[in-house]
Structure 1
Amino acid sequence: MTTVTTQTALETTGALPLAEASQPGRLLSLDVFRGLTVAAMILVNNPGDWGHIYAPLEHAEWHGCTPTDLIFPFFLFIVGVSITYALGSAKRATARHAALLGRVARRAAVLFGLGLLMALQPKFDFAHVRIMGVLPRIALVFLVCGTVFVKTGWRTQLGLLATLLIGYNVLLQLVPVPGFGLPNLEPATNLGAWLDRTVLGENHLWVQSKTWDPEGLLSTLPAIGTGLLGLLAGQWLRRPQPETASRVVWLLLASGAASMLGLVWNLWLPINKSLWTSSYVLYTGGLAGAALAALYWLCDVQGWRGWLTRFGRVYGVNAITVFFLSGVIARWLNMLQVPTESGEVPAKTWLYERFFTPFFSPVNASLAGALACVLIWYAVLWLMHRRNIIVKV
């Protein structure tokens, strides 16, 4: 990763930031939305005690959707919106498409590499490294959506979205699973789980399951659909016509329709984050669109600059940076040992038991630990923000 300010990057290279921070003066709501989403990621990924968590801060056990299950699709939706703002002007210069797509591919490769580097922490065990994950999925969605945006129009993108969602539904519910027989939606025996074991191998899957991966290969197809919803929303907001109020209203209506369609589709194909089902794409994508419309109206149209706006923007301009560093440091804190009277304990456990468990109930101590993590990283990002430091990949 290279540390630069957005202004310096534009002045010295002419490059556009691909999907990290919005360009100055363009869309404050996008930075705020991104920042709030990443802060929520850090909150749910860093409880003080995994055995004591408030229900809304946990993923659904399998089918269903909790507030925590909204976070990752919101971020992929934001990636799609960001692409339209980062590449929209350059897209019109068709002679530059090859160079533009090269930049998209390079950034996707760096994101994928950062995901592997995070997964290797702290032991660097290549024989058991998880290949897929949050950053690799972001990389693949960015690569496909960036390419599609540069080379196609919104009608083609809408058609591709429908094809991905319907096609994925057909694969999950109609294609037999080798070695298991009839199609099914069970964790270890669905078609996606079989594909992950066959292509990646059990040693390279999510360690908590070992037989399937919630960010697996097949479910990346509908995850691209989430990015495409963001592309469509971003292009709609960038249109000069109709007037601003109408754009917001129509985005809210379209978002509500998408969520309703997702709920209807749920009757046949359950909403499920780990499978990233087609119903889940539409339901969460609709909620993301509604959230963006509300923030756009408040921040960019009405000029609202409350504390939540400032908090979100500080997180939003260095979103990938804080996600990567918070994940790496958490892994190291779990590995480093601190000597105590009863023996050595992980540094994270020592900090938690010293500063939180004596003062709160177990579930509140766990929440307090997660909130402290969010605030500590906010302090770091605030200092970076004051110095106009943006870390780009």
Structure 2
Amino acid sequence: MLRQHVDRILALRPRGRLMSVDLLRGLAIAAMVLVNNPGSWSYVYPPLAHAGWHGWTPTDVVFPLFLFVVGFSLVLSNHQCARFPPVGWPQWSRALKLFGLGLFLAVFSYNFRDSSYSWLEDQIERIRWLGVLQRIALVYLITCYLMRYCSERALLTVSVLLLAVPWALMLFAPYQDSAGQVFHGRLEFGNNFSAWLDQLLLGADHVYYRSAEPFAFDPEGILTTLPAIVSCLLGVFAARQWCRAGDSDGEQRALCRWWLVAGIVLFAAGQLAHPWVPVNKALWSPSFVCLSGGVSLVLLAAFYYVADVQRRRRALAPLLVFGVNAIALYMLAGMVGRLLIMIPVGDSSLKGWLFDSVYLPLFGGPVGSLAFALTCVLVFYWVMWQMYRRRIIWKV
């Protein structure tokens, strides 16, 4: 039965698409769903949680992996190697839709247990302006403009500047708190130039970490969006290498080796730089861009070699179901996850009741929390499969 299901996935695969890229996108979005939906945040295995501050876990490289795939896909969607078209309404429309969907998720919450709760005051007046989808929208649109107006050499120069300038501001730009105390060069939680800028421009009520001190900030904040563009551009560079490669088996294998070596070098550079330039996802530090970009390139090399060179696709095929409808899955998971918390059951929520009554007694804390997340992935897979088998692809 499983074999028949996999065969059907492959038979229904959209034509004219590079399979390894859809698989990589599917891996990224499935990982996002898995880490965002534990049964309880009190029981999360370390690899499935973000690093406390400096450092990294596998979870930290998932978002930059998705941005890497966005960059790769931009090249593929533009007839592979042709000059990027003028940036107009199609690109702006997509960016605005993504940004709007992010804002929708930001306000998709209601406290049914509190009779005095004001949704307008809590969600609208204190809306979080930035987030994952909003960052994707901004990175996507800026990358479109860079691809249109910059040569490849210019893109390399821009990438260096996008890494160096924000980091230089982090290290050398002075800033002060409400009491007049001046800081510079701090790289602490709630005390760094990026956090100060977020509080100044977005406001303390409109960011994710509202209670951080001395400055409230957003992990998808303003300044850190600039180096995130480089994560996307790494995908652009990788895709252009694919465009230049020939169709022979030898050239395809050489391309895989190039990606693999480049990925290992980038990963090593990011890791070795950590004592001086800390690997930090919230700051999207240059070392984090190198390390996560290295992981993305290594995964691309592996997926491309297996799926597109060797054509051994069966084991990876289920990721296609996620990969061709990534934004639809992200929205579904975000809404369902919030609904499970919103719906009251006794003194708890539906999610709390399910975990405490079913998963915790059966599996215990950590395993039960992971089992809950895996259940969510399976349920969402079924929904995405219904769309996939009907050839419904939700294009934003």
TM-score (norm 1): 0.88
Which residue, out of 319, 334, 344, partners 2:326? 319
SS at match of 1:249: helix
1:334 pairs with 2:341: yes
List per-residue Cα deviations over 1:190-239 (Å, max 9, x = no partner): 00000000000011000564511111101001101111111111111121
Tell whether the 8 Å contact from 1:177 to 1:183 is kept in structure 2 after alignment. Answer: no
Tell whether the 8 Å contact from 1:23 to 1:86 is kept in structure 2 after alignment. Answer: no
Structure 2 CA distance, aligned partners of 1:33 and 1:90? Answer: 21
- In the TM superposition, residue 107 of structure 1 has moved relative to its aligned partner by 0.5
- In the TM superposition, residue 135 of structure 1 has moved relative to its aligned partner by 0.4
Structure 2 CA distance, aligned partners of 1:346 and 1:73? Answer: 32
- In the TM superposition, residue 311 of structure 1 has moved relative to its aligned partner by 1.4
Per the alignment, residue 194 of structure 2 pairs with 192
Structure 2 CA distance, aligned partners of 1:346 and 1:324? Answer: 21
Structure 1 CA distance, aligned partners of 2:238 and 2:301? Answer: 9
Structure 1 CA distance, aligned partners of 2:329 and 2:51? Answer: 25
Per the alignment, residue 275 of structure 1 pairs with 283
Per the alignment, residue 32 of structure 1 pairs with 23
Per the alignment, residue 243 of structure 2 pairs with 238
Structure 2 CA distance, aligned partners of 1:90 and 1:74? Answer: 22
Structure 1 CA distance, aligned partners of 2:388 and 2:357? Answer: 31
1:253 pairs with 2:261: yes
SS at match of 2:312: coil
Which residue, out of 297, 310, 313, partners 2:317? 310
1:116-265 aligned within 5 A: 116-123=103-110, 125-179=123-177, 180-207=182-209, 209=211, 211-241=216-246, 243-265=251-273
1:62 maps to amino acid: W
Which residue, out of 373, 379, 390, partners 1:387? 390
SS at match of 2:348: strand
2:189 maps to amino acid: P
Segment of structure 1 superposing worse, 25-34 or 313-322: 25-34
How many aligned positions are there? 363
2:98 maps to amino acid: L
Structure 2 CA distance, aligned partners of 1:197 and 1:207? Answer: 10
Segment of structure 1 superposing worse, 44-53 or 102-111: 102-111
Structure 2 CA distance, aligned partners of 1:240 and 1:255? Answer: 18
Matched-pair identity in %? 41
Structure 2 CA distance, aligned partners of 1:111 and 1:91? Answer: 25
- In the TM superposition, residue 75 of structure 1 has moved relative to its aligned partner by 0.7
Runs (4+) off by over 3 Å: 88-92, 207-210
- In the TM superposition, residue 257 of structure 1 has moved relative to its aligned partner by 1.6
Structure 2 CA distance, aligned partners of 1:361 and 1:350? Answer: 14
Tell whether the 8 Å contact from 1:169 to 1:269 is kept in structure 2 after alignment. Answer: no
SS at match of 2:363: coil
SS at match of 2:66: helix
TM-score (norm 2): 0.88
1:193 maps to amino acid: A
- In the TM superposition, residue 101 of structure 1 has moved relative to its aligned partner by 3.3
Segment of structure 1 superposing worse, 72-81 or 348-357: 348-357
Q: Is there any run of 5+ residues in structure 2 with no aligned partner, and where?
A: 1-12, 111-118
1:366 pairs with 2:369: yes
2:52 maps to amino acid: E
Tell whether the 8 Å contact from 2:194 to 2:224 is kept in structure 1 after alignment. Answer: yes
Describe the shift of the 1:209–1:392 C-alpha distance in structure 2 as closer, same or farther (beyond 3 A).
farther
SS at match of 1:157: helix
Structure 2 CA distance, aligned partners of 1:23 and 1:146? Answer: 24
1:78 pairs with 2:75: no
Q: Is there any run of 5+ residues in structure 1 with no aligned partner, and where?
A: 1-21
1:160 maps to amino acid: V
